[in-house]
A and B are shown apart, each in its own frame.
Chain A
């Protein structure tokens, strides 16, 4: 049973993702050479990999001792999937960024009612505990429509980011 599992896992590994590499230095009149072969670790030894053997007879052992062996494994599928995932996330973020900065230039058009009473832009985010309490305690007014909820969340998030941006970039209060 155990050997069956091993066999299965060996087969599952992509054949091209295992590699046995022998680096052999110059020896007598042979120049240096690198030998590669896609075989598993059990078969990774000099006689299997160094083909064709450049030296004969008793020199073979001396030659093999000089060579350096490296066995490497990788998962090319993981690499491919990871790169594609990160590129797609990056692409989505870039598209959203372009949309936010160019397509929707007035982010404050549909804010909550109370913010319209704020005198100027600088006062957004000032400490307004009572205002907040009214907003918070009277949540029953929130609309049930999914789309408006999403928009509501988005507007909230935008204000948050604006606050953060002010703290970090403008006033240099945090993370200077």
Chain B
């Protein structure tokens, strides 16, 4: 309490500034958002600042020469300088140069003593050790999630009396009472009707099962949303749009924290088990990135440097996808293509290592009992024919159409959730959607089973001894070789399965639109793959029957002889799944690699690529962005899209601030302002940084100083340095300016000044400016005219300009 009173004693400045801080934040336009979490004493991720006192001297702001630090050696580094506010963009250049300085210092010191040498070697290896730990932790968590989700999903149907921890499959695993006709039933597994009314037959038993199914689904969903709401609100949603933004340089404190990790893991299990139409791949990426972020705190090199940390997060994202799909290479490519912003080559090798360790850890936990990583690993190798490219391209078109439709409707629904009353009742929304899903899902066996099982069954090529309804073909052939089965006419089971699958398709298409984006962890890889797999299988079975009954048509008889296995519906399901997934996420290389790692068949690359390309073209023709970019735009994150070209002919002076009628640019002079002047400027404006010029008349640029650093330094000086008062002069030069005698002591703030700010001239085309922002990761860029400082362009200005040029709403960019 006393320290606050002490602050209040520092005259009206504090009180005056306090009210302006109520509704001010970093940049000018940030005032539009009322107080986004700015109180950074609450930030868990920022190391409590008192720990930094007396730390390594090299963390003293950025852009300073090595020689300067010898002078600063005498000054203590001020805690907090060089860190960032929440919901702000980092300065990539500063972070990278800090890391280089640190590395240089360690290398130079390593020649002095053995201990320093060991230190430098361990510093080099710390990256690899960190990757190993991330892989181990992600793999273990993924194993936990998989096993728990499997168990809880089956909990809706019954319980195992031979050990409650077994799910249906494992309960009957050891049973000797499984018959050939009914391969799913065994006496150890009791459905709820068997436990409650001791019978499994009859209408009443059906109703009891139905009721228990819906009840369990609602219970799981309610637990999930309450846990999210009470403990970690950041754990909802997929996580990939936010991680994309974080990796491009944005800071969201707490998004990758411990509580978010725990809650996301547990609620993901609950959400998947409740039967909702969502997947766990996106949230697994979030979980893996949380692991990465938490483990970064063990290593100094990564804890203090935001740019290095993002390299680790890219690798962690690769590990996340790798455990989700059992596809290490696909995971690395997904991280490269979809999630990361800057992906140096060194990160490629490390990501691969992390992904491999994660996949290996998951395999050794062995959640599926068959030493495979993913539930739907298929191994057929039947060849496909060139003519089949036609239906594959049809599937691609379907995938593209569905992708565009889904994105548009989902974004419209999410916007409704964001702006209208619907958003005020998240718990009720989750419960209603779960109730609808459960009630509609129970009657149809294909919607009752979990989506992963459905996909697995659809990908499966029917053998002679498969007992599922989808494989109910009439075996009219007379050879009994155990090899390939010829095409067979469909039996009754197949026809009824087709009807049920068609209904499943419609239900899944509709319900996923409302499910993705709710306040529980939700992914969308599995639902999209399910939609595509159903469509593919329907088409495949249709083609197969067509080929069987119309052997004589020219399109078939050239390559399909009587009694041969021409068409594999399982392959069509795979291609359909790839097409739909590509249509929604607009993945290209990573999608094909993930799909062929899932199947193990290199022969299917061409159909997969054909379908993926077609679906991407169709979807791009209908809508520019993938689902993740669309969500980024919906939330207004400051994400500068790296893949698009800026094709307009505007100049830097059209975008820079101040505009023509605005007041002049607020600058600080290098040695003629007092502490009071600076504090007034800080309190009156909301800019996140100020250029420093030689003098107001000349406007010649010296450097750039950040608001946060100024505030921290001035506060620190008032507390710690003797004699610093409001009329003390602040100087940014090497030596104090000549002053008359009897003036109060001066305050030197050169160590927080960035001496190498980026500048462009006012006539620079915006194409080049946008390119500079993208490639260097700048946050702001100064504009000069004939060598004199004219204005400033921030990243937010660039984003608004791009939005304006694309006829979108420039006010939707919320953050800087």
A residues at B contact (CB < 8 Å):
16, 19, 23-26, 31-34, 36, 38, 65-66, 68, 72-76, 78-80, 82-86, 89-90, 93-94, 96-97, 100-101, 113-114, 117, 119, 122-139, 141, 156-157, 159-161, 163-169, 171-176
Contact = CB atoms under 8 A, between A and B. Distances in A.
A117 B223 CA distance: 36
A161 to B, nearest CB: 7
Nearest to A32: B180
B386 interface: no
Contacts of A124: 39
B79 A137 contact: yes
Interface string B21-53: 111111000000111111111111000111000
Contacts of B203: none
Interface in B127-183: 143-144, 147-148, 151, 163, 165-166, 170, 173-176, 178-181, 183
A159 B369 contact: no
A101 B230 CA distance: 8
B57 interface: no
Question: Which of B85, B465, B636: most chain A Cβ within 10 A?
Answer: B465
B233 A164 contact: yes
B252 interface: yes
Nearest to B475: A25
A161 B170 contact: no
A24 B465 CA distance: 8
Nearest to A115: B39
B423 A172 contact: yes
A72 B234 CA distance: 40
Contacts of A176: 414-415, 417-418, 423, 517, 634-635
Contacts of B24: 127
A125 B233 contact: no
B729 to A, nearest CB: 21
B814 A93 contact: no
Contacts of A24: 180
A168 B233 contact: yes
Given A165-B233, A171-B34, A174-B234, A137 B715 contact: yes
Given A68-B463, A176-B634, A75 B254 contact: no
Given A36-B176, A78-B147, A168-B233, A133 B711 contact: yes
Contacts of B7: 130-131, 134
Given A34-B183, A86-B269, A172-B423, A134 B148 contact: no
Given A74-B170, A97-B230, A175 B242 contact: yes
Contacts of A137: 49, 79, 715-716, 719
16 contacts: A25-B180, A34-B179, A83-B147, A83-B151, A86-B144, A90-B266, A114-B4, A125-B39, A129-B38, A130-B14, A134-B6, A134-B7, A134-B715, A137-B49, A161-B230, A172-B419
A128 B227 contact: no
Contacts of A126: 21-23, 35, 38-39
A62 to B, nearest CB: 8
Given A76-B170, A89-B262, A117-B4, A163 B37 contact: yes
